[in-house]
Amino acid sequence: MATPMNEDIRRAQQRFEELQSLLQDPAVIAARDRFALLGREYRELDGLLRLHRELELVDRARTATARELKTTSDDDLRVLAERELAALTEQAQSLRDRLNAGLHPPHPNDRKDVVIEIRSGAGGGEAALFAAELFRMYLRYAERNGWRSQLISESPTPLGGFKEVIVELSGGPIYRYLKFESGVHRVQRVPVTEKSGRVHTSTVTVVVLPEADEVELTIDPKDLDITASTARGHGGQSVNTTYSAIRVLHKPTGIIVNCQDERSQTQNREKALRILRARLLAHQQERRQSQASATRKSLIGGGKRAEKIRTYNFPQDRLTDHRLRESFHGLAKIINGDLDPIVKRLQAEEKRLAGEHAR
């Protein structure tokens, strides 16, 4: 009997095959904007179909284990089978939840790739070091989900931290999972440079922007002031002799984007314009959100940098999410990219508040 999910998967498979043909069409390849949009949809569907195949394998393993459980008379084997069945059931539910979320995103932006901007705040060198840890945390979370990452720009510090680092994550409905990360992240711990053992408090600002497509957000070239310069190192010294670094000023809003990660001026220009589009889209949405429900804004924080959303307390091995008013233990696992427990709670709370507002 066909289930709603099976019907959704059938349609996804049909659309995936259609996209395979479209992306080989010379006319589509020549239309850059359309090719980019279709390519994103293709990658998203590819990820969902991979999830579905993984779920099918797990379900088959569950069926085999359940059959074994019914037929075995050995107590030790029964205990092992029960444990394996419980683990497979949990894995299947997690895959099913992710598949459902991908098939039915609640908001158009939830399907989008993202640009993550991480900046050190109060706390000097310790804040910069924690900015680097958050950067690695998001990269590891991306790896767990099969997303791709591309460094856009970085301002490293001598001790291995970042004053600022900007990265693009692509290859899935990423904004759905990371939109709650925008805000101030506070860390409490003993810095490596602290000899007296005192706990310091530092802050890092994270901004997660859904990427805007050229067809979605048009920028008038007359509104841009684009200048090129040589790339700069830690102390401001020039690190190359070509004018590859790009600075883009959007005159109507005053938004400035700098990009010097690539050696090619053209590549840096393209990256800078992608970031600018994302920031302009966020700027537009923030104005719209001022008219949105207070309950929704109180949960996701509207992406405002002044809002403290989370505290990482290392001496007590505890992360506290201040929007949920809940704590999670096991900071080493979380910093290593195990964000799913927190993300799922935030998604559930968003759904609950949206339901209350609808009533």
Give me the domains of the chain, ranges plus CATH numbers.
4-103 (1.20.58), 109-211+294-358 (3.30.70.1660), 221-287 (3.30.160.20)
CA–CA dist 90, 86 (Å, integer):
6
325 versus 295: the higher-pLDDT residue is 325
Whole-model pTM above 0.85?
A: no
In tens, the pLDDT along 184-231 reads 999 999 887 676 778 889 999 999 988 776 545 667 888 888 888 765
Structure tokens at 216: 């979605």
Q: Which residues contact 72 (CB under 8 A, 6 or more apart)?
A: 78, 81
CA–CA dist 313, 190 (Å, integer):
10
3-state SS track over 290-318: CCCCHHHHHHHHHHCCCCEEEEEECCCCE
Under a CB-based contact definition with an 8 Å cutoff, are residues 161 and 131 in contact? yes
Q: In the prediction, which pLDDT does 55 show?
A: 92
Is residue 55 helix, strand or coil?
helix
Q: How many other C-beta atoms are found inside a 10 Å radius of the C-beta of residue 158?
A: 9
46 versus 194: the higher-pLDDT residue is 46
Q: In the prediction, which pLDDT does 202 show?
A: 92
Q: Which residues contact 324 (CB under 8 A, 6 or more apart)?
A: 345, 346, 349
Helices (H), ranges, the chain: 4-22, 26-30, 32-71, 75-103, 124-145, 174-178, 265-289, 294-300, 331-335, 340-358
In tens, the pLDDT along 98-136 reads 888 777 766 778 888 899 999 999 888 899 999 999 999
Strongest mean pLDDT among 54-68, 234-248, 282-296: 54-68
105 versus 44: the higher-pLDDT residue is 44
Across the strands, what pairs with 256? 249
221 versus 334: the higher-pLDDT residue is 334
Q: In the prediction, which pLDDT does 105 show?
A: 62
Q: In the prediction, which pLDDT does 295 show?
A: 35
C-alpha distances (whole Å) from 354 to each of 11, 107, 302 are 28, 12, 15
Q: How many other C-beta atoms are found inside a 10 Å radius of the C-beta of residue 28?
A: 16
**Confidence category of residue 234, pLDDT binned at 50, 70, 90:** very low
Is 261's pLDDT higher than 90? no
Under a CB-based contact definition with an 8 Å cutoff, are residues 236 and 218 in contact? no
Under a CB-based contact definition with an 8 Å cutoff, are residues 147 and 51 in contact? no
Q: In the prediction, which pLDDT does 287 show?
A: 62
* Range of lowest pLDDT (141-150, 155-164, 233-242): 233-242
Q: In the prediction, which pLDDT does 58 show?
A: 93
CA–CA dist 358, 158 (Å, integer):
51
In tens, the pLDDT along 158-188 reads 989 999 999 999 888 899 899 999 999 999 9
Across the strands, what pairs with 183? 206
**Confidence category of residue 149, pLDDT binned at 50, 70, 90:** very high
In tens, the pLDDT along 287-309 reads 655 544 443 344 444 434 456 89
CA–CA dist 317, 320 (Å, integer):
10
Q: In the prediction, which pLDDT does 238 show?
A: 44
The sheet with strand 326-329 has its strands ordered as 148-156, 162-170, 114-120, 200-210, 183-189, 308-313, 318-321, 326-329
DSSP string, 89-152: HHHHHHHHHHHHHHHS-SSGGGGS-EEEEEEE-TTHHHHHHHHHHHHHHHHHHHHHHT-EEEEE
